[in-house]
Structure 1
Amino acid sequence: MGKNKIDLTEYIKRGEELSFSKRVRLVLMLSIPSIMAQISSIIMQYIDAAMVGRLGADGSAAIGLVSTTCWMFGSLAYALTTGYSVQVAHAIGAGKKEKAKCIVGQALFAVLMWAVFLMFAGTFLSGSLPRLLGADPRIHQNASDYFFIYAAFLPVAALNSLASGILQCSGNMKTPGILNSLKCFLDILFNAFFIFPSHVLYMGKVKIVLPGLHMGVAGAALGTAAAELFVAVVLFYCVWIKKFSLHKMHIRKDCFQKGYLRKAIKISLPVGFEHFVVCAAQITSTKIVAPLGIVAIAANSFGITAEALCYMPGYGIADAATTLVGQGIGAKKENVAKYFAKISTMIGMVLMSAMAVIMFFAAPYIMAMLSADAKVVALGTKILRIEMFAEPMYAASIVASGALRGAGDTFVPSLMNFGSIWLVRMPLSYLLSLSMGLRGMWFAMCIELIFRGSIFLYRLFKVRWWEKAKNRIQ
C-alpha cells in the first residue's frame, strides 16, 4: 500500500495492523463519497421543495402529503438491493470474484422484476392515495400526479440503488458518490424546465429565452425522474459493463442459484420490513398531521426535508460500515469487522452531533429557503430545533444498523426498529399532538430516537452478533 492510500480489500485480507488515525481515515475515505451522495439526495429534495414552494403552500403540501408513501415504496424497492450488495461484499472479501459476478448478474434481473411489480402497485394506488390520507381536496390532484410519476420511475430508481450499492460494497465509493452528486445539478436544470413556464432572462443587454413546460408539482416529479434516469444509465455502464463485465460473460445456469436468491431474501426481508415499519409510521404521522391544516402539513414536510441534511451523513457512514464489516466477515476477520463496526458508529455520532449544532442555529434560514410562507417558516423552525437534541442517538441507530447489516444481521435490528417506533413513538405522537399540535408529535419523535439509539448501542457493544455471521456466508 502506498503512503497516502489504504487499499481496503488488501488490508482486510492481510489483517494488517493500522494506527487509530489510519483506521479513522479509512472509514472517512469510504464514507465521504457516500455522504456526498446522501447529501445530494437531500439537496434534490430541497430543490424540489424550494422550487415548488415558490408556487405556494398548496403545492408544497401536495408533495409533503405523499412524500412518506414515496419513501415507503422506494424503501421496498431498495430493500432487495441490500440483500445482493451484502453478498457481493462477502464474496469480494473472500477473494471470489467470479462468485461476485454471478451474484451481480442475478441481482440485475431479480431487482428489476421486483421494482416493476412495485411500479404497477404504486401507479394503481396513486389516484386514491390523497383521499386515503385524509388531505384537503384542493391538493388531491397535485398529490396524485406527483406520486404517479414517482411510482412509474421506481425501476430506474431501484437499478440506480443496486448499482450504487454494488460499487460501494466492492470498495468503490467514489464513482457512485460523484454520479449521485451530479444528480443535484441535473435536477435543477430539469426542474426549471418542467415546473416553470418559459420566461426571459436578461444578462446585461443579452436576452436569453429559457423554455419551460409550466407543469408545477408534476414537473418537480418529472425533473427528478429525468435526473435519476441519466445517472442510472451511467451507473449501469460502470457496474454491468465495465466493473463486472457481464456483457462478456455467458450467463450460466449456475449463476442463478437458488442460494443467492434465498440469501438475498433472508437479508432483505427484515430490511424491507424495517423500512416498511418506519414509513408506515411516517404515513400514520401524516394522518395525524393532516387535520392540523395546510400550514402544519407543509411545515412538517419541510421539517423532515431539512432534518435530513443533518442525518444523511450518518447514512453515508453506515454505507461504509456495511462495506467494512461485510468484507471483514467475508475474509473471516471477525476482529476487523467488530472494530470497524464500533469506530464507524462513534464517528457517525460525532459528525451528526456537530451537524445538529449547526442546524439548530441555521434552522430559520433553512426553512426560509424552503418556503416563502412566514407561518410555515415559523412553525418549521420550532419543530426542527426540537429534533436536533436526538441526532447523536439517531446517528447511533443508523450507523450501527449499517454495520450489523454488513454481517447479515438484519432480523433482530428490524424488530428493534418496529418496537421502538410503534410502541414508543406512535402512542406518544398521538397523545402529545392532542395538546401540543405538531410540536407534540416532534417531541415524541425526539424521545423515540433517543430510545432507539440506546438499544442499538447495546446490541453493538454487548451482544456477540458476529458469531452467527460465519454461517451466513457459507
Structure 2
Amino acid sequence: MPSKKIISAQRQTDATAIITSGHIWKAVWYLAWPSIFNTVIMAAYNLINRLFLSYVPNAKPSIAASGIGGNALMYMFVIAVGLSAGTSALVSRSLGAGKASDAEQAARQSLLMSVGMGLIAGVPFCLLARQLVWLIGAKPQVVPLAADYATIIGWSTVPMFVNFIAIAILRSQGDALSPLYVGIINITLNMVLDRILILGYGAVPGMGIHGAAIATLAARLAAMAASLWFVRRSRLRGCLRQWKLDISWLRRVLAIGWPASAQSLMMTMASSGFMRVLSMLPNGQATDAQAAYSVAIVIEALAFQPGLAFSAAATPLVGQNLGAGKPHRAIHGAWVASGQAAAIMGVIALSFLLIPQYLAKPFVHGRDLALLPVIVAYLRINSFSEPFLALNMVLRGALQGAGDTRMPAWITFVSMWLIRLPMTWLLAIYFAMGASGAWWAMSITCCLSGLLMALWFKFGNWRDARV
C-alpha cells in the first residue's frame, strides 16, 4: 500500500498534467477554488477581528491603530513578496520543463533566504516600530497602540517569511489544497485567540488590540509548522534537506524577486503616504478617516480576495506552461483567470454600491457612528474599480509566473506615485473634498493600473523573460 507521502507527491504530479494539458477552464478552477475558499475565510477573519475591536471601550483609536499598525507591517511583506515571486517563477518553470532537481534547489535556497531575511528585517522593525507608525501619520493618541500592535506582530517575521515561501513552493507545484489547510489552521486559531484575548474570557482578561497582536503571533507560528509539514509530504520534500547556500541560485531568485519587492515597497510606501494625507484632514476628520479606512478596506476584501485567489492560480498556470513550451496556453489561461476574477469581483462590488450601509453598520457603535457615512462613501466609490483591480491582480500574478516582475513595478510607480498620491492631496486637501476625495483618487488609479497591466500583457514582450 503506497504511503501518504507518495500519494501526496503523485497528486502534485497529476496537477502538472492538468495545468499543462486539457481544458483550460478546468485548470484555472482546479488551481483557483481552494484559494478562493482560503481568501474568503481570510476576509471573514479580518471582518471578525475588526468586529471584536469595535467592542473594545473607546474603540476608535484601537481600530485606527490596527489599520496604521497593519500598514507598517506591510513593510515586512515587501521582502517576502520578492522571495515568493522568485520562488514561484523558478519552481513552476522548472517543473513545467521536467527539471524537478532544479525546482527542489530553487525551493531550498528560497527557504534559506526566508530565514535570513526574516531575522535581518524583523529585529530593526520591532525596534523602530514607534517611529514608523508616527511617520505613516498616526495621531498622538493612536501612536502607542499602533506601535505596540506592530511590534508584537513584528516578532513573527521569520515564521511569516518561511510560511510565505513554503506556500509558494506548494502552489508552484499545482498544490492549492495544502495552502488551504494551512490557512484554515491559521485563521481558526487566530479567531479563537482573538475572542479570548481581545475581549477576555473566563480568567483571561481582555487585552484589546494587544490581544489581537498576540493572537496573530501565535497563529503564524502554527501556520509555519503546518506549511513545512505539507512541504515535507510533497514531491519537493528534498528541499528540506542538505541546507547549503548556493550563490548562483540565490542570484537567480533575487534577480526575479527584487523588482517584485520594489513594487511591493512602492505600494506599501504609497499606502503610508495615503494615510499621511488622511492625517492632514482638518477639524478632527483625520482619525475618523483613518479608522473608516481601516474598516472599509476589510469589507472591500470580500471583493478583492477572490482576485488574490485567481492571481495565485495564474502564477503556476503561466509558469508551468511556459516551461513546457506552451506559451499560447499560458496566455489563454491568464485571460480566462482574469475574466473569471473580474466577473466575481464585479458581482460582489454591486453590494458595495447598493447596500453599503448594511455592510458597514455592524462595525460602528455608539459615538463611533460618525464613521458610518465615511465607510459608506468608500465602498460606493471603490465599487466601480473592482473589475479593473481584478485585471491588475491576476495579470500581475501571471507575469510573476513568467518571471517578468519589472514592468509591474513600473506600472505601480506610475499609478501609485505619479498619479494617486498627488491626486489624493489635490482632491482631499486642496479642493477640500475630504475623505471622499481620497476615495475617488484610489478608485480612479485602480482603474488605470488595471488597464495598463492589461495593455502590457497583451502587447508586451514578457514571454521572453529569462529565469
TM-score, with structure 1 as normaliser: 0.89
1:455 aligned residue (452, 455, 462): 452
Alignment correspondent of 1:152: 155
Identity %: 27
Alignment check: 8 A CA contact 2:308 2:393 kept: yes
Whether contact under 8 Å (1:318, 1:401) holds in the other structure is yes
| Contact 1:88 1:104 (8 Å CA) reproduced | yes
**Aligned partners of 2:136, 2:405: CA distance in 1, in Å?**
30
2:136 is aligned with 1:133: yes
CA drift of 1:126 comes to 1.2
Does the alignment pair 1:339 with 2:332? yes
Please give the root-mean-square deviation of Cα atoms over the aligned residues, in Å: 2.0
1:288 counterpart = 2:291? no
Partner residue in 1 for 2:303: 310
Q: Does structure 2 retain, via aligned residues, the 8 Å contact 1:12–1:336?
A: no
Q: 1:102 to 1:427 in 2, by over 3 A?
A: same
2:38–2:180 CA contact under 8 A, matched in 1: yes
Residue 57 of structure 1 contacts residue 298 of structure 1 at CA under 8 Å; is this kept in 2? yes
Count of matched residue positions in the alignment of Structure 1 and Structure 2: 446
Q: Alpha-carbon deviations, 1:295-336, whole Å to 9, x = none?
A: 221101111121122111111101110010010111122122
Map 1:38-77 → 2, pairs under 5 A: 38-55=39-56, 56-77=59-80
Q: Which moved more, 1:110-119 or 1:367-376?
A: 367-376
C-alpha separation between the residues in 1 aligned to 2:176 and 2:355?
A: 30
3-state DSSP of counterpart to 1:127: helix
2:312 aligns to what? 319
Residue 268 of structure 2 is aligned to residue 265 of structure 1: no
Structure 2: which amino acid aligns with 1:383?
Answer: Y
Per-residue Cα deviation, 1:166-209 (whole angstroms, up to 9, x for no partner): 111100001111320332221111112221233xxxxxxxxxxx
Residue in 1 aligned with 2:37? 36
Partner of 1:239: 231
The structure 2 residue matched to 1:400, chosen from 385, 395, 400, is 395
1:438 equivalent in alignment to 2:440: no
Relative distance call for 1:312 and 1:248 in structure 2 (3 A) is: closer
Match of 1:425 in 2: 420
* 1:25 aligned onto 2:26: yes
* TM-superposed deviation, 1:377: 2.0
CA–CA separation in structure 2 for the residues paired with 1:362 and 1:408:
41
Say if 2:137 and 2:276, in contact at 8 Å, map to a contact too. yes
Aligned equivalents of 1:153, 1:168: Cα separation in 2: 22
Q: Does the residue aligned with 2:130 lie in a helix, a strand or coil? A: coil
Distance (Å, rounded) in 1 between the aligned partners of 2:319 and 2:43: 26
Alpha-carbon shift at residue 6 of structure 1 (Å): 11
What's 2:323 paired with?
Answer: 330
Question: Residues 135 and 50 (structure 1 numbering): CA distance in 2 closer, same or farther, change over 3 Å?
Answer: same
| Letter in structure 2 aligned against 1:281 | A
Contact map agreement 1:101 1:244 (CA 8 A) in 2: yes
Structure-2 separation of matches of 1:397 and 1:33: 21
Counterpart residue identity of residue 105, structure 2: C
SS at match of 2:207: coil
In 2, the alpha carbon distance for the partners of 1:461 and 1:129 equals 39
Given that 1:241 and 1:247 are in contact with CA atoms closer than 8 Å, whether structure 2 keeps it comes out as no
Question: Which residue, out of 333, 356, 369, partners 2:362?
Answer: 369
Partner in structure 2 of residue 204 of structure 1:
none
CA contact (8 A) 1:153 1:225 kept: yes
1: CA distance, partners of 2:385 / 2:217? 32
Q: Specify the alignment match of 1:206 in structure 2.
A: none
1:411-468 deviations in whole A, cap 9, x for unaligned? 11111111111111111100000211011001011111111111111111122321x1
Paired residue type of 2:290: I
- Output the CA distance in 1 between the equivalents of 2:241 and 2:150: 38
One-letter amino acid matched to 2:17: E
CA distance in 2, matches of 1:185, 1:74: 22
CA spacing shift, 1:181–1:384, aligned 2, 3 Å: same
Q: Structure 2: which amino acid aligns with 1:454?
A: L
* Residue 42 (structure 1) shift: 2.6
Distance 2:404 2:121 in 1: 25
CA contact (8 A) 1:77 1:111 kept: yes
Report Cα offsets for 1:12-52 as digits up to 9, x if no partner: 55xx4x4xxx3213201211111222233333322221111
What do residues 283-302 of structure 1 show as CA deviations (whole Å, max 9, x unaligned)? 01111112433222110111
Q: Could you list the runs of 5+ residues in structure 2 that have no partner in the other structure?
A: 1-11
Cα distance, 1:249 vs. partner? Answer: 4.3
Task: Give the match for residue 169 of structure 1.
Answer: 172
Deviation at 1:397, TM superposition (A): 0.8
- Describe the shift of the 1:295–1:12 C-alpha distance in structure 2 as closer, same or farther (beyond 3 A): closer
Question: Does the C-alpha gap of structure 1 residues 117 and 362 become closer, same or farther in structure 2, counting only changes over 3 Å?
Answer: farther
- Aligned counterparts of 2:252 and 2:327: Cα–Cα separation in 1: 20
Equivalent in the alignment of 1:121: 124
- C-alpha separation in 1, matches of 2:317 and 2:185: 26
User: Which range moves more in the overlay, 126-135 or 61-70?
Assistant: 126-135
Match of 1:10 among 10, 14, 17: 17
Which residue does the alignment assign to 2:7? none
SS of the equivalent of 1:397 reads helix
Q: What stretches of structure 1 of length at least 5 have no aligned partner?
A: 199-209
